[in-house]
Structure 1
Amino acid sequence: MGRLIINAVLLLIVQEIYFVATATDQETCESDRLMEEQCRIHNYKTVKPLLDYFRQVRNELEDKEIKENKLNELNSDLLEKYQEIVRIHEKFVKEAALLDEYKNKVIKGENDLQLCKNRVDKFESETNSQQNVIVKLKGDLAEKSTNLENCEIQYKTLNSSLFEKDENIKRFSENIQNITEHQKTIELQLEQSKTKLIKKDKDNQLCRAEIDTLNKTLLNTLIPSSCSPFGDSDVHPLNVSGIGFFDVLCDSQLAGPGWIVIQQRVGGNESFNRDWATYRKGFGSYRSDFFIGLEKIHRITSLQRFELYIHLVAVNGSIYNARYDDFKISDEDSGYKLSLGKFDETIVGDAMRIGENLKFTTFDRDNDIGGGNCAVQYKSGWWH
């Protein structure tokens, strides 16, 4: 800073000297023109060194001023450059920020572009799928168009057929009308025939009723209620009051003609361990083992007096017989109670007497007088 002030003072002094020298130089030049020789002789030696010094100083000052001006210009340029650098830096910062923003935008754009690309790929895939669907639909459309053409042909054919059918319907309608009138006539005749048929049916019913009555009377007359009319040993029908017609096995060999076989055990193939309902109805075969049935025995013995004849053949061949003069059993409500009458004393062994006045017993209906069930013990129903 001090150097700059000294330079400034020195510059002022030099300028004053320069002005004086300039003025003196002008005057000297004028004097030189007038009296060059005199000045050169008297003053040159004294003034010239000083003038040379001033010229040198002036030149140095001019050089210095030029340098100062250049320095100022350089400083000014430097300041401008600095300011330019600051502006450039600020611009660079802004542009860097913009660049970052642009980079972000570019990244976002790349992401958006990738999304767009993915969407485009998806769209292309969907487009391809839709294109395939379109191709298929085109094929279906072509097929349906062909079908439609065929349908149109069929429609025309059907229309033609329909027209023919309409004509036929008209003819048929006329025929139907004629047939309807004829049908009414036939229905009238049919109604009259129905009336006659109903009358005849009633007459036939009366005739059938009379025939049934006659048949029953004839059957009652022809079919007996016992085996007395039959002279052989075979199966014959009986007509018993309260139970109707049923077959029985008649025997005319063991004790004379006219016997009804109520039980037979000859084959050993039939189980007699049966329940109450089966004994009531009867079971077995007349050609082998059987029991005629409690209800049939009750109905038969209720009509008239019957004898009971028992014929037993032992395993060793021994034969045992028993005979009672008034055999019968009561109804089901009384348990089919047994009644025998008198025993034929000419035959040894009144073994059946122990069951008289006893009810019939089966494994499912215990009517015996013992503590247990004799039907279960002996595996057979009886008057235990």
Structure 2
Amino acid sequence: MNRIIKTVVLILLLQKLSTAEAFMDETCELNREMEQQCRSYTYSVVKPMLDYLHQVSEELQESKSKDEIIKDLREKLAQQEINEALINEMRSQIDFQKRIDSLTKSNKKCKAELASKSAELDRLNVEMKKLSSSLLDKDKEIVKINISNSGVTIRADL
């Protein structure tokens, strides 16, 4: 009897196992269907978010690119301002050098004119000394003539 009970219990267990196996297969099939359905719902919900993230990523890249362009343009502008300042400084130095050259030319002309006037003045001084000496000689002659005409013999050495 023990054997029969064991056999019956074994049969019942096998029957339960086969029922459980069938139930498991059925459950797995239901799980697969639910998983597939869940994927399609999830994808339809997540797809717009993924699109939005992709769009934001592209805009971020574009923004970084524009920031780099702006940075480069600002650097170029700063360099251009420095170059303009240097150009203005060089123009100022060139103008200053032109004024110095002009003054140097004027100075040379003035020196040449001064030398010419000095030479003329020296010549006139020599001529004036000659005339003065000649005048002195003439005065002496006049005094001699006056003295000799007056009958007085005074010798005047001037």
User: Do they fold alike, i.e. is TM over 0.5?
Assistant: no
Larger strand fraction of residues: 1
* Structure with bigger RCO (C-alpha 8 Å, 6+ apart): 2
Q: Larger helix proportion, structure 1 or 2? A: 2
After TM superposition, the score normalised by the length of structure 2 is: 0.40
TM-score w.r.t. length of structure 1: 0.20
